[in-house]
Amino acid sequence: MAKTIIISNRLPVQLQISNGSITAIPSVGGLATGMKSVHSGGDSLWIGWSGLTNEETPEALESQIDDALAEHGSSKVKLTQKEVDGFYYGFSNRTVWPLFHYFMEYTEFQWESWEIYKQVNQKFADAILEKAEDDDVIWVHDYQLMLVPQMVREKRPNVSIGFFLHIPFPSFEIFRTLPWRMEVLEGLLGSDLIGFHTYDYERHFLSSVRRLLGLEVSFNDIYLDDRVIKVDSFPMGIDYKKFNEAAKEHAQRDESQKSELQKRLDTHKESTPDAKFFLSIDRLDYTKGIAKRLNAFEYFLNKYPQYKEKVRLIILAVPSRSNVPQYQLLKKEIDELVGRINGELSSVSWTPIWYFYRSMPFDNLIDLYTTCDIAWLTPIRDGMNLVAKEYIATRTDKTGVLILSEMAGSANEMNESLLINPNNFEEIADTLDKAINMPKEEQQQRNSILQKRLERYNVEKWANDFMTSLLNQKEKDLTYISRRLSVDLMNTVMKKYKSAKRRLVFLDYDGTLAGFNKDPQKASPDEDLFRLLDEISAQENTDMYLISGRDKETFTKWFMHKGYNMIVEHGVWISQNGEDFRMLEKVKKDWMEKIHPVLDSFVDRTPGSFIEEKNYSLAWHYRNTDPDFGQKRAVELNTVLTSLIANDDLSVLNGNKVMEIKSSNVNKGRASMRVFAENEYDFVFAIGDDWTDEFMFQELPDDSITVKVGRQKTHAKYFVDSTKNVRDILGRFADMH
């Protein structure tokens, strides 16, 4: 039976060693909560580091630890202290974390930590491979394990692998500075599905894939030779019911049941009923913008002095990575800021900032969420920010105002909050003023919409959506595999080929017989291709045609001496049995004077692009351009041309990194059918790689064997992955005796 394997840096349990015995305590919040529905449902296993290094783990307790983890459906990866230092504190948190959050000044590029990162990723991959079987589903989590998918794929090519990144993926300009950028991308591309919190992160990732690896990306699909990878956004939710019901229970408590924190909050509320409490909760991290928030609060009180003694900022900074120098400096900076602001602005009865540097239990968090009037969460960069969602979930009377940074991933789905730029103190001050004075009805209207959305798309829905997409991607792959021209299918084709009385074979050139080249004139045929074509064309009762969008001059130079049958410029010209080219279709070319200046302007504005002038068509090539910019210009040019040729008998063909304008009544479908009508063929084979070949696939008789090179949507019956597979097919044809 297939099982689900979840992999993360840390396991969803914490181990405690006491008096020679082990206790495993389930973790709360975050990923552990998010994956509960997946982990607890059916056959599943969670693989990760236990939190104890090899040096901290007595050998005598190893089996106890394994047993304790097994009770929680978990299995450990053993790490030394050196590995933790290099992998986690080193590469993960001194390279990837700051770089992906746009803090270049904190980013370190250390080869030693990169080597340890690779070694530890291999350890995680090996742990998976020990447990995984071919039909299992594997879900890898976060930036610490970005190499794992490909490491697993190399040994288990048939497993279904998903990867989710819980932090931002940076823009190409930032990501390209990483010395190991190619290895990271290739590691991630071992996945079948790659998930991000937001579309922006997804877009940045796809841009890097296009620009650095040169892979074909269509919408949110990445095409490799042997499979398709789906990339999508899945905004992580929270356990809405847990927070909402906890808030309702808090509201029912009597005085004896309240925490000391709640009593203190109530006392201050009662002494100043009109005062507003601002709430700020973050891990102590430079990405969270805590220091900026403190400075902005001081700016606000100076701009709006009427709020002195009428507002209070409660800051909860949860300790994090306290052994990392940047975090130690940040702690010192925040301590000093709080001390200075309180020292300068406090009065006998009022302290503007309450500062807590510690973790708080769940009940105390609910105290803060339900008591504070305004949640002020303004990270400089944040993958998601679930605190914003937790705050809204606890507002059972639907009052309260959420002020949220535009730079938080959750801002994309929480537009009803007050969104601000965390660097704009003027805007922040005005927004705080607006929040203080927001009518109760408006608060409830905004929060009602947010609550419905958060309740519907909760953390369980997030996990299930990802798993459903991953399984669907696997199904799609299986569908593709059923149409792949496998060995068995090829054997069937060969039986038909051998028994046929008369054969007709159409072979596209670029992307089919030969790979693409930045300079089209350098994609000339090699000796091996000539050998295959010679043998096929020499076979009795076999008519082989090269059919291409190329100009007749190029094909005359490359192939005329061989006497092959050729159709060029998508069906304008035909050469049979080595004779000169003659026109298949009568077409005009006076339109070219109108279109050429348009293409010239796009060449001028798109570095790397160029125009190919054929006898009866014009082609704008953009293979050598920046991938993102070239695609953007192609969309723009398509719009311009579609409008320009609306009343002409012209069409625009969108090929592989080329856009061609030609007469509408010329295409490979018409040309191939003209040839088909000349004889009685009982075997027809056609193969090609782009949209220009789709006309041929559609027009040829239903019993034809049509093959697409690549996995794009097609009318062809079968597909192969690459030009190498095409050569293999030709080899089978050529060897027919």
Which token pair is 219? 């919408």
Closest CA to 7 of 124, 103, 147: 124
Number of H helices and E strands in the chain, helices first, is 27, 29
Alpha-carbon dihedral angle through residues 689, 695, 700, 705, given to the nearest 10 degrees: 20
- Alpha carbon distances (Å) from 578 to 73, 503, 507, 554: 71, 19, 17, 15
Strands 582-583 and 610-613: unpaired
Closest CA to 409 of 169, 690, 112, 700: 169
Quickly tell me which residue has 């807590």 as its tokens.
356
Quickly tell me which residue has 């296993």 as its tokens.
45
Instruction: Spot the catalytic one: 192, 373, 477, 508.
Output: 508
- Sequence-distant (≥ 6) Cβ neighbours of residue 610 within 8 angstroms: 603, 620, 621, 624
Q: How far apart are the first and last CA of the chain?
A: 47
29: left (phi over 0), alpha (psi -120 to 50) or beta: left
- β-bridge partners, 231: 194
> What letter would DSSP give residue 656?
S
Q: Are 106 and 98 in contact (CB under 8 A)?
A: yes
- Using a 10 angstrom Cβ sphere, with 0-12 exposed, 13-18 middle and 19 or more buried, the burial of residue 396 is middle
Q: How far is Cα 685 from Cα 677, in angstroms, rounded to an integer?
A: 15
- In a 13 Å sphere around the CA of 272, the CA atoms on its Cβ side amount to 15
Quickly tell me which residue has 């847990």 as its tokens.
242
Q: How far is Cα 616 from Cα 45, in angstroms, rounded to an integer?
A: 62
How many residues does this entry show for the chain? Answer: 737
- SS3 of residue 350 by DSSP: strand
> What letter would DSSP give residue 524?
P
> What radius of gyration, in Å, describes the C-alpha atoms of the chain?
32
- SS3 of residue 487 by DSSP: helix
- Sequence-distant (≥ 6) Cβ neighbours of residue 495 within 8 angstroms: none
- Verify whether residue 590 is a known catalytic residue: no
Which token pair is 257? 């049941």
Q: Is the dihedral of CA 702, 487, 497, 492 positive or negative?
A: negative
> What letter would DSSP give residue 168?
P
- Active site members: 508
